[in-house]
Chain A
């Protein structure tokens, strides 16, 4: 057993199994958490019947979705329609390879870690476009178009915010970025970049108040209107896993990853620190959803092009200047 795990391929296979188990347990937990948060913000209780505190409710819902018939409407583009849910779910597994859960836990600590995460999380948009186009449905297509234009608009300030951190650490390797924050977390050094990253991350995952691609009051369900059963579940799974990933990346970039504040670990293992911070950020994203109304489309675009991008650019230029001076 020992020599299988120590070999590169054994480590990878074990890692993939662990990642798959984690993803399929994490998403139901986040859906449960979302429903609990929504409930308590609206002075309700949320799910509580199935399992302790209703924890098994979303797993039961998942089983129901697996059991449902996969409906393929008559006039859809069959190949794209079947491809879209697979394509939306597969790329969300890749970032787990480089996410630094603790000092020794990134599956493969490559020196282009950050690049891998952002290049694969962009495929998500392509899958949404394919799903919306392939459905042959006006609501789906509108949702997909909105999603693409929104993602293009918010990808830019997101990457600019990330760039200012990369400029400071001069590396794309996740573990090195975390180690650079051993004394001071980067959100204290780069508060504006952290804020811009977090806003854009919320928009990138199509979460409220930036959820116009699936605005249910105007577009039925947006790009996944025609998807049912497990195909819909895959879109859902991908959305919640993406939420976890952007929060994990924010933890790595701005909240010191597996380290405690100011290098004080309090004896808590790094994985716990990392997950605590990540789930705190996930909670904040949920908190956003149940506080803010959805933005109108032009407001959304204005906010990105007129506010976020200039601010991110200014922040980047100032960061570069200061680094050059020091």
Chain B
């Protein structure tokens, strides 16, 4: 009798299997047609760092103090500031990071006294040369305004 039971039980499990797959045919696909569609990045995503834009002033507060530069364990940050008038605060004019060496540890973000550094949502970073990993954050900031 075990012979017929095996056939019946086996056949039933096969039908169950078919049921699972036929249901999936009608489910919506999860594939994203990447260059044409993009998902929203999670807020906790760590791209390369960027200068944070504060809504009340519409600009960043980087004073080129260099704390981030000294905090960076990989020495990938290089920046230069300029003072336009005697009693004004210093403003950053050049802020370079070499993202190809960055480990995204976040020491710079934590160290920033003006809290004007943050992780960006940038993920399309494939490039042709190793020097393309060098990013000018001031330029990036200005371009993101547009």
Contacts and interface: CB of A to CB of B under 8 A. Distances in A.
B22 A287 contact: yes
Interface string B68-112: 000000000000000000000000000000000000000000000
B29 A43 contact: yes
Interface string A21-59: 000000000000000010111111100000000000000
A290 B29 contact: no
A287 B18 contact: yes
B5 interface: no
Contact of A307 (B7, B17, B33): B7
Contact of B21 (A41, A44, A45, A307): A41
Interface in A286-308: 287-288, 290-292, 307
B74 to A, nearest CB: 39
Contacts, number: 33
Interface in B1-25: 7, 14, 17-18, 20-22, 24-25
Interface in A130-154: none
A307 B14 CA distance: 15
Interface string B13-49: 0100110111011011111010000000000000000
A229 B101 CA distance: 45
Interface in A243-296: 287-288, 290-292
A40 B31 contact: no
B29 A41 contact: no
Contacts of B25: 37, 40-41
A288 B33 CA distance: 28
Main secondary structure of the interface of B (DSSP, over half): helix
Contact of A43 (B17, B30, B33): B30
A4 B86 CA distance: 103
Contact of A291 (B21, B28, B29): B21
A291 B7 contact: no
B17 A291 contact: yes
B22 A43 contact: no
Given A292-B14, A307-B7, A43 B31 contact: yes
Contact of B31 (A41, A44, A307): A44
Q: Which of the four size classes fits the interface of chain A?
A: 10 to 19
Interface residues of B, number: 15
B3 to A, nearest CB: 8
Contact of B29 (A45, A287, A288, A307): A45
A135 B79 CA distance: 66
Contacts of A42: 24
B7 to A, nearest CB: 6
Given A287-B22, A307-B7, A292 B17 contact: yes
Nearest to A291: B21
A288 B22 CA distance: 10
Interface string A87-106: 00000000000000000000
Nearest to B27: A43
Contacts of A307: 7
B14 A41 contact: no
Contacts of B28: 43
Contacts of B7: 307
Contacts of B33: 45
A292 B20 CA distance: 11
A240 B143 CA distance: 55
B32 to A, nearest CB: 10
B21 A287 contact: yes
A291 B18 CA distance: 6
Contacts of A291: 17-18, 20-21
Please name the 8 residue pairs, one residue from A and one from B, whose CB atoms are nearest each other, closest first: A291-B21, A40-B25, A43-B30, A44-B31, A45-B31, A41-B21, A291-B17, A45-B29
Interface of B: 7, 14, 17-18, 20-22, 24-25, 27-31, 33
9 contacts: A40-B25, A43-B27, A43-B29, A44-B31, A45-B29, A288-B18, A290-B21, A291-B17, A291-B20
Given A40-B25, A43-B28, A291-B17, 10 more contacts: A41-B21, A41-B25, A42-B24, A43-B30, A44-B29, A44-B30, A44-B31, A45-B29, A45-B31, A287-B21
